[in-house]
Amino acid sequence: MTAFNEFGLTDPVVRALNNMGFEEPTLIQEKAVPAGLEGRDLIGQAHTGTGKTAAFGIPLVELLKADREQVQGVVLTPTRELAVQVAEELNRIGHFKGIRTLPIYGGQEISRQIRALKNRPHIIVGTPGRFMDHMRRKTIRLGQVSLVVLDEADEMLNMGFIEDIETILKDIPEERQTLLFSATMPGPIRTLAQRFMRNPEVISVESRQVTVPSLKQSYIEVGERQKFDALCSLLDAQSPERTIIFGRTRRRVDELFEGLSRRGYSAAGIHGDMAQSQRDRVMRRFKEGTVEMLIATDVAARGLDISDVTHIYNFDIPQDPEGYVHRVGRTGRAGKTGVAVTLVTPREIGHLKNIERMTRGNIERKPVPTIKEAFEGQQRQAVDRLLTAVEKGGIDNYRGLAEGLLDETDSVTLLSAALKILTREADRTPVTLTEERPLRIKKDKNAGPGHRGYRRSGSGTKVPERSGGFKGKGRFSSRAF
């Protein structure tokens, strides 16, 4: 395994990486950093959790000049959350070299961003819409940009940003280095690469299996009206420490949050209709462990860098295989075992099988946990909580009280009572969710070979169909995965 100091990096960058706790590069970093440092255009095909940010961040910081106080690097991301997280990591990598990064995104006052731009950052990380807004206002000058990164390009495609990206790239000097990172390579991304990149080196770190081996995948076939009770049974039986529950629409997220809260679960919801301050507050509570469950739409969850997620629940089946990979890729990281469960209505089984085939994974069918299994799961959690309290200590103030109780009652009875109090018994408070239509994917009748069809998502949004094949230069995989 190559060490970071073997890349020929300058001392300030090596020092920053050491401070960040980086020891050995991930596979994508090992392959992408040298190519990036050589000034080559690069396409990196890697999914969430592979270390993509440092893979482009290290060359970005290394190649830019700290004494030239102009925007020299641009990173485009699909969401504001990802923009903030990428900017934070780039600022850490560039700390000792003096390379400053500024995130710009919608939802934040543009006047505040304009003031920050006057401090002359070297790198801007932004969402395409707000970036174009600054271009129109001429508050961002692109004449000195020498390096551009497109991060999670397939997600920017899904969110309808391709035309914005093309407009931005046309305004950046052609004599630039372009790095593109994407979990998958649908047709329009390949076309974008062919048009705006110069003989890019293609790096793929995907194994034969798209989803990680440490991920246990399963599905439960259940009617739409029974899905909520099935979810609660799963939560009780599996007792996840930290979980993300995905819903197809904003309404679904709101109703799931309300229903789970009514039944006593510690949950919070996040979607695109929420103000940025609300989203930041929800994410802070989730990361701190104040809430155990995050309920999210795909768009709101894009790029969220959350560690130690133990379980993923797809309350609604994802739109496509790429969406499935992005969702379940948030657990089972760093060699840890993760769990992903998808709730599927009978009419959606065919769509699930398509996801299984395209991701080359094994999604095992499981039954809804029984009442007994759910109760046993809650008992295990109560025992864990009790043993954790013993390990943490700080219970000396309770010893006298405990000894007094033992004079009156035997230890087994007392411990049984304590476990009963700690065990969360099933709550079946009635909860009714608005029914969603089963997911169906239909190609546009006018979409023939070489044309791009569209389908409707469950929220009514117009979403591009996947297209295959790539014609032109460069070494691309012929499959989307």
The pLDDT of residue 357 is 82
More confident residue, 420 or 168: 168
Of 122-126, 161-165, 458-462, the least confident = 458-462
The pLDDT of residue 334 is 62
Average pLDDT of the residues of the chain? 83
Rounded CA-CA distance 441/309 in Å is: 30
Pairing status of strand 462-464 against strand 454-456: antiparallel
Is the pLDDT at 355 greater than 80, yes or no?
Answer: yes
Of 120-129, 409-418, 462-471, the least confident = 462-471
More confident residue, 468 or 225: 225
User: Over the Cα atoms of the chain, what is R_g?
Assistant: 25
Is the pLDDT at 453 greater than 50, yes or no?
Answer: no
CATH superfamily membership of 209-440 = P-loop containing nucleotide triphosphate hydrolases (3.40.50.300)
CATH superfamily membership of 4-204 = P-loop containing nucleotide triphosphate hydrolases (3.40.50.300)
Of 177-181, 296-300, 390-394, the least confident = 296-300
Rounded CA-CA distance 142/138 in Å is: 9
If pLDDT is split at 50, 70 and 90, which confidence band does 62 have?
very high
The pLDDT of residue 257 is 96
Residue range(s) of every CATH 3.40.50.300 domain in the chain: 4-204, 209-440
Region 324-345 average pLDDT: 84
More confident residue, 95 or 470: 95
Q: φ, ψ for residue 287 (rounded to 5)?
A: -65, -35
Region 20-42 average pLDDT: 89
More confident residue, 361 or 72: 72
Is the pLDDT at 462 greater than 70, yes or no?
Answer: no
If pLDDT is split at 50, 70 and 90, which confidence band does 331 have?
confident
Rounded CA-CA distance 388/383 in Å is: 8
Region 337-344 average pLDDT: 94
pTM exceeding the 0.75 threshold for the entire prediction: no
Pairing status of strand 215-221 against strand 147-150: unpaired
Is the pLDDT at 16 greater than 60, yes or no?
Answer: yes
